[in-house]
């Protein structure tokens, strides 16, 4: 995984993808406010899918039929994270958001975190597909840590909500 | 003990007012509540959950001790009705008090109740990235679990406010030359003239309550799964 992080080309491509997507958002007539609402909905979807997996694992006899579609959902969704934060979709929208301004001032690290989640989610998806439920737990934990690592730095702490 | 020749009555008698489990529980809460706050706000959720579950165990014990413990720990003894409270506040209470006074008893009950609410909310709390969550969170959906986590954040400050009132009351009594701190450390305090030393619950009952509290907590910590 570490090899992939350090791959400057890949990062450049991801960043370029984000810039293109931001352009696409504007081209599609999406306002910053729309983008904000969309990403909050997408994030929540990933949260729900993660919880479904966590709950299923807690039963002690996880059903692959529950794990697989949720792992798939996160893997598919997380590929698009870089496109969810176009410029102008932050606090300046005047809407309630926990997105911190450093997302746009430190895009390099933000993209790295997004990329890490993408890798962890793809891994979880692959592990789920093998049907070996014993390996899903550790893979899900790794994904949770990757999500957390971005929230820790780029998401405001809950104070007043 | 210093002699007080000017005092009208003899040196006040001293007796054990708070039994050992009540004091141990009190000081563990003093350590664990700030630790729970610190670990939650400094990204040590696994420790936070361990600390919270320990507090859950202490609360279970306190509930049992409030029903079957030593007299000064029992709810039936320290939760007074409105008339008794009014009489106490007006200085017209016709009897001496050993243990919590009618007002202090309710302050303790309020703190325990809010603490229980806080722990109860924590048990169902859901974390955004699903890395840490309460052991009972599987019984609620994602949105409910997040809403519960918000309340878990808010109720903490109600608890802080009640603890603040508790500390101010102790300070006020200290200014009126009543030492409440000493007895909570040593268990021994001054008895008002004419008061009887309260009996203590036997050790087997401490063991039984502790065992029951541990069992209840263990089952909850494992998400109500008996495995
Ligand atoms: C008296 C005991 C407790 C106190 C004083 C307490 C206090 C707190 C505080 C202040 C926070 C918010 C941290 C922040 O602002 O970021 C928090 C979060 C949390 N607590 Fe507790 N807590 C207690 C018991 C518990 C218990 C028993 C559990 C579950 C076993 C628990 C699980 C959680 C979880 C999962 C979070 C994170 C929720 C989130 O990410 O929004 N807590 N706690």
- pLDDT for B89 equals 85
Is residue B86 over pLDDT 60?
Answer: yes
Q: Inspect the interface and report whether the beta carbons of B145 and A50 lie closer than 8 Å.
A: no
What's the mean pLDDT when you consider all of chain B?
90
B133 chain-A contacts, CB cut-off 8 A: 51, 54
Task: Kindly state whether residue B88 falls inside one of the protein's structural domains.
Answer: yes
- pLDDT for B226 equals 67
Q: Is B127 exposed, middle or buried (0-12, 13-18, 19+ CB in 10 A)?
A: buried
> Is residue A58 less than 8 Å (CB to CB) from chain B?
yes
Query: Is the CB of residue B69 less than 8 Å from the CB of residue B19?
Result: yes
Domain that holds residue B59: 21-189+197-221
Identify which of A50, A54, A60 has the shortest CB distance to residue B227: A60
% of chain B beyond a pLDDT of 90: 66
- Strand, coil or helix: what is A155? strand
The reply to whether CATH 1.10.287.3510 applies to domain A30-154 is: no
> Is residue B145 less than 8 Å (CB to CB) from chain A?
yes
Residues B108-128: what's their mean pLDDT? 97
Residues 6+ apart with CB under 8 A from B24: none
Residues 6+ apart with CB under 8 A from B81: none
Domain locations along chain A: 30-154
Whose Cα sits closest to atom 37 in ligand 1? Answer: B127
Is residue B189 over pLDDT 90?
Answer: no
Q: Phi and psi for A89 in degrees, rounded to 5? A: -110, 20
> Is residue A47 less than 8 Å (CB to CB) from chain B?
yes
- pLDDT for B191 equals 82
Our count of domains for chain B comes to 1
- pLDDT for A159 equals 57
A161 chain-B contacts, CB cut-off 8 A: 150
Atom of ligand 1 at shortest range from CA of B40? 13
Is residue B1 over pLDDT 60?
Answer: no
Ligand 1 pocket test: pick from B32, B39, B52 the residue with the most ligand atoms within 8 Å of its Cβ.
B52
Task: Kindly state whether residue B16 falls inside one of the protein's structural domains.
Answer: no
> Is residue B142 less than 8 Å (CB to CB) from chain A?
yes
CA distance B224 to chain A (A): 11
- Reported as a pLDDT band with limits 50, 70 and 90, residue B194 is confident
Residues B84-107: what's their mean pLDDT? 85
Q: ipTM score here?
A: 0.79
Q: Is the CB of B2 under 6 A from ligand 1?
A: no
Is residue B146 over pLDDT 70?
Answer: yes
- pLDDT for B98 equals 83
Is residue B121 over pLDDT 50?
Answer: yes
Ligand 1 pocket test: pick from B125, B149, B161 the residue with the most ligand atoms within 8 Å of its Cβ.
B125
Among chain B residues, the shortest Cα distance to A146 is held by B129
Q: Inspect the interface and report whether the beta carbons of A144 and B43 lie closer than 8 Å.
A: no
> Is residue B134 less than 8 Å (CB to CB) from chain A?
no
Query: Is the CB of residue B138 less than 8 Å from the CB of residue B223?
Result: yes
% of chain A beyond a pLDDT of 70: 80
Residues A147-158: what's their mean pLDDT? 91
- pLDDT for A11 equals 57
Residues B121-127: what's their mean pLDDT? 96
Whose Cα sits closest to atom 40 in ligand 1? Answer: B127
pTM, two decimal places? 0.85
Lowest mean pLDDT among B73-77, B155-159, B204-208: B73-77
Is residue A142 over pLDDT 90?
Answer: yes
Instruction: Tell how far CA A50 is from the center of its chain.
Output: 11
Q: Is the CB of B48 under 6 A from ligand 1?
A: yes
> Is residue A50 less than 8 Å (CB to CB) from chain B?
yes
Q: What burial letters (b/e) apply to B150-183, b meaning 16+ CB within 10 Å?
A: ebbbebbeebeebbeebeeeeeeeeeeeeeeeeb
Q: What is the CATH number of the domain that holds B36?
A: 1.20.950
pLDDT, tens digit, 9 for 90 and up, residues A56-67: 998 888 999 999
Ligand 1: distance of its center to the CA of B40 in Å? 6
């Amino acid at each position: 995984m570490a090899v992939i992080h350090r791959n400057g080309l890949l990062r450049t491509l991801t960043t370029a993808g984000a810039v293109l997507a931001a352009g696409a958002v504007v081209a599609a007539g999406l306002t910053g406010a729309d983008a904000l609402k969309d990403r909050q909905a997408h994030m929540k979807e990933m949260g729900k899918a993660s919880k479904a997996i966590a709950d299923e694992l807690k039963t002690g006899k996880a059903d692959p039929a529950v794990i697989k579609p949720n792992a798939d959902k996160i893997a598919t969704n997380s590929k698009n994270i870089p496109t969810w934060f176009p410029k102008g979709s932050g606090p300046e929208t005047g809407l309630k958001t926990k997105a911190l301004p450093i997302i746009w001032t430190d895009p390099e690290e933000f993209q790295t975190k997004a990329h890490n989640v993408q890798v962890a989610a793809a891994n979880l998806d692959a592990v789920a597909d093998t049907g070996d439920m014993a390996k899903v737990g550790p893979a899900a934990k790794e994904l949770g840590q990757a999500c957390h690592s971005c929230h820790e730095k780029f998401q405001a702490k809950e104070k007043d909500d | 003990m210093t002699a007080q020749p000017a005092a009208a009555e003899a040196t006040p008698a001293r007796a054990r007012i708070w039994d050992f489990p009540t004091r141990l529980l009190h000081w563990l809460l003093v350590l664990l509540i700030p630790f729970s706050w610190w670990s939650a706000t400094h990204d040590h959720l696994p420790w936070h959950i361990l600390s919270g579950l320990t507090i859950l165990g202490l609360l279970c014990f306190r509930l049992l001790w409030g029903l079957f413990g030593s007299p000064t720990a029992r709810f039936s003894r320290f939760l007074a009705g409105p008339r008794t409270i009014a009489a106490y506040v007006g200085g017209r209470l016709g009897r001496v008090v050993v243990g919590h006074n009618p007002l202090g008893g309710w302050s303790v009950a309020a703190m325990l109740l809010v603490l229980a609410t806080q722990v109860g909310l924590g048990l169902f709390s859901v974390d955004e990235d699903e890395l840490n969550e309460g052991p009972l969170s599987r019984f609620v959906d994602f949105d409910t679990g997040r809403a519960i986590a918000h309340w878990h954040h808010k109720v903490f400050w109600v608890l802080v406010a009640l603890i603040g009132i508790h500390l101010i009351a102790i300070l006020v009594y200290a200014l009126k030359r009543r030492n409440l701190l000493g007895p909570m450390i040593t268990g021994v305090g001054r008895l008002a003239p004419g008061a009887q030393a309260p009996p203590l619950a036997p050790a087997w009952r401490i063991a039984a309550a502790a065992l029951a509290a541990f069992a209840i907590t263990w089952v909850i910590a494992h998400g109500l799964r008996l495995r």
